[in-house]
Structure 1
């Protein structure tokens, strides 16, 4: 059984860009998305040098929360760790044609640019969301163990590990621009103002 051990952070500012080593455009569709955290996702990825052609890679991924007390002998999340830090993950490469067919069936989708970063402490990426989820920017760091504490860059402004409404599956179903003004106020000020500004522009265009 594969495990995903990952922490997520809201990003403020552009200082992270100095660490970029590459980027790709991702399109994700959710075939199953349950309130308990079980998701079945199809993803296509196009590297920056292949944007004019077909997606270069595609995967089918099932994610599920780790059962309380562990699953199949695996340790669960320890006290003091963020909820949702450790999840079960089953990921399989699939043919591009299959991914495109599944994306056509997926009722909820998101698109974003993913930037790979050279930083210590884990496998770091920053996701810059597009369309109805702009101007959201999230950093993710994949860790080797649940008790690993990577050094956090100053632009990681707020941890949102386990915060369901900011998961990719939830953002596909209810994007940031669909949030009510009251709900947006739960976000940091720069995201709240950006969301309102983008909403105003959309209404005027």
Structure 2
């Protein structure tokens, strides 16, 4: 079983922009948003992915991700009630890669940074542009943002 250990933070300034090494546009939708088992379809550039995630246990949860044909991902996205549109920026900081997601559309104005860790207690350096941690706030889960967008809070 694959396990995801992830912390999520708000971003408090645009200082990360000059540190971004790569950016990619992402479209994603959810076939299932049940907290026990979310099923996500994602287009990352010209690649398609299907991801199944289990219930959160703190910052840990089961995650299974599979690359699927682009045409399949496009067809599956059409089955999703709402789509998330975001640009993911990769930022290297003190030996870790931060994924800074800049949301568009109904979630415009929201920028969050995520870090995946090897263990729950792994140490990491906080960049100056990092704001409050929202790892435990379900409003910031992507599955929640697809049904309750940031601009409608």
Question: TM > 0.5 between the two?
Answer: yes
- The alignment of Structure 1 onto Structure 2 pairs a total of residues equal to 153
> What is the CA deviation profile of residues 144-177 of structure 1, one whole-angstrom value per residue up to 9, with x for unaligned ones?
1111121101211100002111110000011011
CA distance in 1, matches of 2:36, 2:111: 21
1:124 Cα shift? 1.1
Give the equivalent residue in structure 1 for 2:52: 62
Higher relative contact order at CA 8 Å, sep ≥6: structure 1 or structure 2?
Answer: 2
**More moved, 113-122 vs 166-175:** 113-122
CA contact (8 A) 2:26 2:88 kept: yes
CA contact (8 A) 1:121 1:149 kept: no
1:87 Cα shift? 0.8
1:185-196 superposed matches below 5 A: none
The structure where helix makes up a greater share of residues is: 1
1:65 Cα shift? 2.1
Q: 1:121 to 1:148 in 2, by over 3 A?
A: farther
CA contact (8 A) 2:93 2:125 kept: no
Structure 1 length normalisation: TM-score? Answer: 0.72
- Give unpaired runs (5+ residues) of structure 2: none
**What RMSD over aligned residues (CA atoms) do the two structures have, in Å?**
1.2
CA distance in 1, matches of 2:26, 2:109: 16
Q: Which has the higher Rg, Structure 1 or Structure 2?
A: 1
Within the candidate set 102, 115, 122, 1:128 is matched to: 102
Give the equivalent residue in structure 2 for 1:202: none
Structure 2 length normalisation: TM-score? Answer: 0.95
1:118 Cα shift? 1.4
Give the equivalent residue in structure 1 for 2:37: 38
The structure where strand makes up a greater share of residues is: 2
CA distance in 2, matches of 1:58, 1:20: 23
